[in-house]
Amino acid sequence: MICGSKELLNKIGMERTAGEMKKGQVLEGIVEKVVFPNKGIVITEDGKEFVVKNCIPGQTVSFSVRKMRKGKCEGRLLNTLKKSSIELQEWSCPHFGECGGCAYQNLSYESQLKLKENQIRELLAPVLSESGVDFERVFEGIKESPRQFAYRNKMEFSFGDTEKDGPLALGMHKRGSFYDIVNVEECKIVDEDYHRILICVRAFSEAKKISFYHKLSHEGYLRHLLVRKAVKTGDILIDLVTSTQTEGFDETAVLAELKEQILGVSYDGKIVGILHTRNDSLADVIRDDGTDILYGQDYFYEELLGLEFKITPFSFFQTNSLGAEVLYETAREYIGGSLGTVFDLYSGTGTIAQILSPAAGKVIGVEIVEEAVEAARENAKRNGLANCTFIAGDVLKVVDAIEEKPDFIILDPPRDGIHPKALSKIGLRFRPERMLYISCKPTSLARDLQMLQEYGYVVERLCCVDMFPGTGHVETVCLLSKLNVEHHIEVELTMDELDLTAAESKATYEEIKNYVLEHTGLKVSNLYIAQIKQKCGIIERANYNLPKSENSRQPKCPPEKEVAIREALEYFRMI
């Protein structure tokens, strides 16, 4: 019988070791909790702890063993043997469980919010406590999305098949699969117009027997279908993304016929543009190698909080328009009254900068994507905002060239957060009295907050906005302020009192290897990492993969792997 107490399970299983388990072995256990992002912590009958994705707290599940390394065990979910007490008996989406798009459609919305709130609490409470801040004192809960269903304004559907050599599918990736595609014509996070477009394009492609692009052989024509719809106006943009492999059919004639098929369907909204984008990238991403307008125009306007923003197929724009209004209203409330000069770093198409501009004397936005910067400038002009300036470039480099000093900084970085060197320039050079950090990945926020706290900032207010119901994602809004020096003491340390080996504790060898593999595709050994750490002046203790003598013959780390390891060491703030 499986017990619910982790302590009791650990006691029972003390005599067994992970070495007795084999990869592929099927085990059962109880999901103790789910940590961000969607990682279930499953306790087996003998007390072992496994990380298994796509679980709900309280479920009893079966899973197969995937990895067992240095006490870290991972499993792949097979079946739910017993439902959780918080789990719905039935859910509205027929694709849930097979489609990889959503994680929590089997929970009530109230339970989803509570789960996400607890995940944020577990992640950030220990971090805030390091600066003496009580999480419960500053945390203001989680704000709901105005819509639980049909909230998305953009979808990227993929062409493929549901199984090898099966019929054509157009939809989302199957849960846990890189290759298989699930038809999602009843998807609940988009409205009926998306379903109509999806069914029309798939039926046409099937009838014409047009091949889809195979990821392994890199052969085929149909790749993706991108659909955007403005919530306020109902305007719709459709972009068919294909390769340039047109052997065996007349592409011009086929695209013209597809256009007429799409326009012949009745919609709640209005189609303002049908486009064709060519993409010959080997990666499974939507890339613009050239776009033609088949019908109408290649943009529409969406309204947020009284301002209009131009949206093109590849514009970055929050995928939940109504939720974005909640997010930006929260940001506006946190910032408060009139400001002087505001820096909006990672400004995208300038939505936050422009929404906050009435409260600022001047707003300077920095964004690395040039197309987004051009859109930001055009949007600001359209909205009659003369105090917004947008600069194209990497935040890490651009901040060195900006001579003005900000009174307030807004940070809205991509999912991976902020580069440590950029954070140090923000915290040490600019030193604004207050900052607002908007995060779409709380694990990145937790890491960056630790560094900002080292620069003397503390969290003043904190809340979440649920922009993605049904999924494991959540936005976090965090107001930081500089510590009041009058209420703190200075501590002087000599070099003898500092532990210069502290860098060793910032990341394990396994974490460094995983980072390098994920970001560069390179595999590095403990020996190579040790060599580069030694080069960087990080002291290695005995038996840390270093040679016994200087004359020992051993392979030297190749230059490309040295660069990758150094990047990882910088990421973990070890150098």
71: exposed, middle or buried (C-beta count within 10 Å: 0-12, 13-18, 19+)?
exposed
Of 187, 440, 464, 478, the active-site residue reads 440
Structure tokens at 421: 């060197």
* Count of Cβ atoms closer than 10 Å to residue 274 Cβ: 24
H or E segment to which residue 310 belongs: strand 307-311
DSSP code at position 558: P
| β-sheet bridge partners, residue 229 | 236
CB 135 within 8 A of CB 505: no
Nearest alpha-carbon partner for 206 in 243, 142, 258: 258
Query: How far is residue 551's CA from residue 472's CA, in Å, rounded to a whole number?
Result: 52
CB 42 within 8 A of CB 49: yes
Is there a catalytic annotation at residue 440? Answer: yes
Residue ranges of alpha helices (H) inside 318-367 are 321-335, 351-356
Nearest alpha-carbon partner for 320 in 414, 229, 185: 229
- Cα torsion 185, 271, 287, 512 to 10°: value is -50
Does the bond joining 37 to the residue before it have cis omega, within 30 degrees of 0? yes
Residue carrying the six token digits 């203790």: 541
Residues with a catalytic annotation lie at: 440
